[in-house]
Structure 1
């Protein structure tokens, strides 16, 4: 697959076939993700892989509970309340695996570096025939003490990018894109 074709054809996948993804394939995707750029080549990331639909369903329930609690205090979350209240809604869309890109250092630069690794991971997954989707609903819960204890997360790790992986159940249509909003600036000189 041509790189530009991969960029344009990658989609957020929210429907997966009921089959696991091998450790070898997840490892290959992560091996490509570590080639993402990072400030001063610090590579401040660790990849936590959570597997199994039942495990992820339990994580989903815990994350939904926390997000519903947050929605009572944060009006911007009111629009998603109905979806989160549905007992059968799984925030991980029944994917077989979740890869959490975690920052190993404090500070916003490490977070930015993890975002670059996450995008590279999603492109690498797409190149391997896997679907992926960044699950923002999981971020608050993954950063909670409850989740860190339950998952045995090492001290000092900051979950940044929860990315589900799996075999897409069907092709996903391309959403419309707005034209690029570009402004060129040149100050002084030629």
Structure 2
């Protein structure tokens, strides 16, 4: 694309960041990102999202320590190639944090009774990730954090209400690296004209 605009640059430039500086993300900036998120499309205008911001590193460590054995158990029979094997090796390290030592964690919760809250909340998460990138922040969707819902104590400590479930866990911070874009396979497209 020759004529790049701000949105195109954000889409093409965003990367999953797995190495963060210790610089704290101001609360006002996180609030701005959440505001960007809630401008995502929402089926039937139900706006089924709720948010929890975690800046407590001790809490993030407890969640990571609970989740790591869950990941190892889940992936023990997975095909061990490429990224899967590298991830398993990292998770097995004692000091590894599933949150990559990011200073902030944003949990996006979906309302249980909204028909497609997972889709709406995923759109919200994408808005947040693109907005964060455009503001010089890095993000990474930590899919394995979903295992925390198996621990009632963590769910209570995080304040996840009974009428919501975890959809997206985004780490957020100032990048300590700027990784290259990984190769993308050509998409399979079937045109019907």
TM-score (norm. length: structure 2) = 0.87
Structure 2 CA distance for partners of 1:2 and 1:137, relative to 1, 3 Å: same
Structure 2 CA distance for partners of 1:90 and 1:50, relative to 1, 3 Å: same
Equivalent runs, 1:169-188 vs 2, <5 Å: 169-186=176-193
Equivalent runs, 1:63-78 vs 2, <5 Å: 63-71=67-75, 75-76=77-78
Give the match for residue 34 of structure 2: 30
Q: Aligned match of 1:95 in 97, 102, 105?
A: 102
Partners of 2:102 and 2:65 in 1: how far apart? 14
Give the match for residue 164 of structure 2: 157
Shift of 1:107: 5.6
What RMSD, in angstroms, separates the aligned Cα atoms of the two structures?
2.0
Shift of 1:66: 3.0
Partners of 1:45 and 1:64 in 2: how far apart? 26
Give the match for residue 115 of structure 1: 122
Q: Aligned match of 1:5 in 1, 9, 21?
A: 9
Give the match for residue 131 of structure 2: 124
8 A Cα contact 2:111 2:164, kept in partner: yes
- 1:37 aligned counterpart, secondary structure: coil
Shift of 1:35: 0.4
8 A Cα contact 1:135 1:163, kept in partner: yes
Structure 2 CA distance for partners of 1:159 and 1:178, relative to 1, 3 Å: same
- 1:177 aligned counterpart, secondary structure: coil
Partners of 1:146 and 1:106 in 2: how far apart? 23
1:84-109 deviation line (CA, Å, top 9, x unaligned): 22101110000001111110133661
Partners of 1:143 and 1:107 in 2: how far apart? 21
Partners of 1:27 and 1:46 in 2: how far apart? 13
Structure 1 residue 16 corresponds to structure 2 residue 20: yes
- 1:89 aligned counterpart, secondary structure: coil
Structure 2 CA distance for partners of 1:174 and 1:153, relative to 1, 3 Å: same
Q: Report the count of equivalent residues.
A: 184
Partners of 1:56 and 1:77 in 2: how far apart? 29
